[in-house]
Amino acid sequence: MSWTPEDAPWWTRAVVYQVYPRSFADSDGDGIGDLRGILGRLDHLAELGVDVVWLSPIYASPQDDNGYDISDYQAVDPMFGTLEDLEELIAALHDRGMKLVMDLVVNHTSDEHPWFVESRDPDSPKRDWYWWRPPRAGMAAGAPGAEPTNWRSFFEGPAWELDERSGEYYLHLFSRKQPDLNWENPAVRDAVYSMMRWWLDRGVDGFRMDVINLISKDIALPDGVVTDGLLADGSASYVCGPRIHEFLAEMHKAVFAGRPERLLTVGEMPGVTVEQARDFTDPAREEVDMVFQFEHVGLDHGPGGKFDVRPLRLRDLKASFGRWQTALADVGWNSLYWDNHDQPRIVSRFGDDGRYRRESATMLATVLHLHRGTPYVYQGEELGMTNAHFTRFDQYRDIETLNHVAVAKTVGTGSDEDLLAGIAATGRDNARTPMQWDGSPNAGFTTGTPWISVNENYPTVNAEAERADPGSVFHYYRALIALRHDDPVVALGDFTMLLPDHEHVYAFTRRLGGVTLTVLGNFSGEVQETGLELGELVLGNYPDPAGSALRPWEARVHRS
């Protein structure tokens, strides 16, 4: 399937902007972002030129995992506002020609969701809406190792929690306040589809589906292979499980089929392979339009996992992105992202957030946005916002980081210095510090006390300063987004990697209808020769004309 500019889906030319509501804009001074804060900042998004807003969860939630633990899917949590505020936001975005995609978190609910509260009663008809199991055979409830499987949760500790009332355990791949729904139960699936239709009927334009490839489990619930201590990686039993394609096809039929709106679905899929992604995004299979894969954001993980950071090797990044571009060239579609609310800020991670912040942020953006796929911009990425560079444990808020620190301190792995270095590099809170609007107190995010510290560089790195500087990251992102809107080669051109073995230069071409774009990015602070013949300069991140060599962190797009 090779789409033409005439028949390609609208989202091949679109750019999506992720808003993490808790940190975007606070309208009522409680230190937490909210829907009316977002409403007050739509001109920023319109000026940037994005087409879709993906809204991280604003539903009723005890906030154990910042809203990814939902206690009512059809209610707005009062900390974010009201359902009327959300409906006003949907209308305001539509008035500006933008769409709204909601975050769908249905692998699990909150343990405070009425469904789960009811399911705690062993005789309740909701009991089978979750994964309840007795202790391992021959072991007493609560004994070490008595959990039904030896799986580790994503947030440390066992993936099973004992419920004293029934003496049984419930499964939670994430926190113990995020029990997994049992998708084997058709009543669960019907309830989810009904809720999804309820949101589409309210004008929502699609969904980002949280860890949607984890919803199908191997019902035998086998143990994983223990590598250290008592717990094991159980992912072979739930990543892209046995019925995942069946469930997604059923969801598509029950929710999206027959709807005239031009909707967008993106499945977040930790551990998905490129071969599986071809199937998930093949339009003929009607499952999802695209997926978030995790290969490139794992390239700097050491043997100890994400907090054991290793330097990126550019050849590894080119090999990974090149594999995804090739595999989805004729079937399916890529999402393209560096940042989101779970990842550290890319300019600090793969760029230079000091001397070359502007150059490296715009180079990274150029390389990503000129690939074949739909780009996602995370709030603040368009400003070149950097990691927080926190220096104390008490500055952190994220459950994943806090649990990691607690376990590391308990088992005594690593000094405080090592621990602080690891979480400062890749902790999720790096992406969750408040949006930096201007140089006023708290960067204009709130008039109250922010729920998490504002990045200390807000007096110089903020939307107002960026807007005032024609050579800023913000205006460069505007040019990139405009290029995707205007030039069909960006959206639909084929992809060919160049210089695959070059340690510092990322180079590739995009071709469509006799036009070739050559894209160059210097991933270093030194001058790099490429030896490539280049055409007319279409876009570059240095103000003056380019020579043959690439300057530090220089990006260029040439047309021939």
The amino acid that residue 40 corresponds to is G
Half-sphere exposure of 557 (CA within 13 A, CB side): 26
Judge contact between 6 and 424, C-beta under 8 A: no
Q: Cα angle at 33 between 383 and 197, to 5 degrees?
A: 100
Q: Which helix (H) or strand (E) holds 323?
A: helix 314-327
CA 245 to chain centre: 21
Identity of the residue, 26 or 65, whose beta carbon is nearer to ligand TEU in the bound complex? 65
Q: For CA atoms 437, 473, 50, 482, give the dihedral sign.
A: positive
Identity of the residue, 63 or 362, whose beta carbon is nearer to ligand TEU in the bound complex? 63
Identity of the residue, 268 or 381, whose beta carbon is nearer to ligand TEU in the bound complex? 268
Comparing CA positions, the residue from 490, 535, 496, 532 lying closest to residue 512 is 490
Closest contact distance (angstroms) between CB of 114 and ligand TEU is 19
Helix axes 416-426, 399-411, angle to 10 degrees: 160
Which residues 6+ apart lie within 8 Å of 194 measured at CB?
none
Identity of the residue, 400 or 554, whose beta carbon is nearer to ligand TEU in the bound complex? 400
Q: CA-CA distance, 217 to 432, in Å (whole number)?
A: 31
Residue 409, φ and ψ in degrees, nearest 5: -70, -35
Closest contact distance (angstroms) between CB of 294 and ligand TEU is 7
Identity of the residue, 1 or 421, whose beta carbon is nearer to ligand TEU in the bound complex? 421
Written as six digits, the tokens of 182 are 């049992």
Comparing CA positions, the residue from 436, 510, 503 lying closest to residue 467 is 436
Using DSSP's 3-state secondary structure scheme, residue 355 falls into coil
Looking at 26, 85, 180, 210, which residue is catalytic? 210
Identity of the residue, 303 or 543, whose beta carbon is nearer to ligand TEU in the bound complex? 303
Q: What's the residue count for the chain?
A: 560
Active-site annotation holds for 268: yes
Closest contact distance (angstroms) between CB of 56 and ligand TEU is 8
Closest contact distance (angstroms) between CB of 305 and ligand TEU is 9
Judge contact between 118 and 124, C-beta under 8 A: yes
Judge contact between 203 and 90, C-beta under 8 A: yes
Residue nearest ligand TEU, Cβ-based: 68
User: Contact positions toward ligand TEU, by CB under 6 A?
Assistant: 65, 68, 105, 154, 174, 210-211, 268, 270, 306, 341-342, 400, 428
Q: CA-CA distance, 245 to 213, in Å (whole number)?
A: 9
Identity of the residue, 99 or 341, whose beta carbon is nearer to ligand TEU in the bound complex? 341
Give the DSSP letter of residue 184.
T
Judge contact between 377 and 559, C-beta under 8 A: no
Q: CA-CA distance, 425 to 502, in Å (whole number)?
A: 26
Comparing CA positions, the residue from 302, 323, 304 lying closest to residue 312 is 302
Identity of the residue, 209 or 314, whose beta carbon is nearer to ligand TEU in the bound complex? 209
The amino acid that residue 222 corresponds to is P
The amino acid that residue 386 corresponds to is T
Identity of the residue, 312 or 331, whose beta carbon is nearer to ligand TEU in the bound complex? 312
Looking at 26, 65, 180, 268, which residue is catalytic? 268
Comparing CA positions, the residue from 381, 336, 297, 296 lying closest to residue 510 is 336
Residues annotated catalytic, as ranges: 210, 268
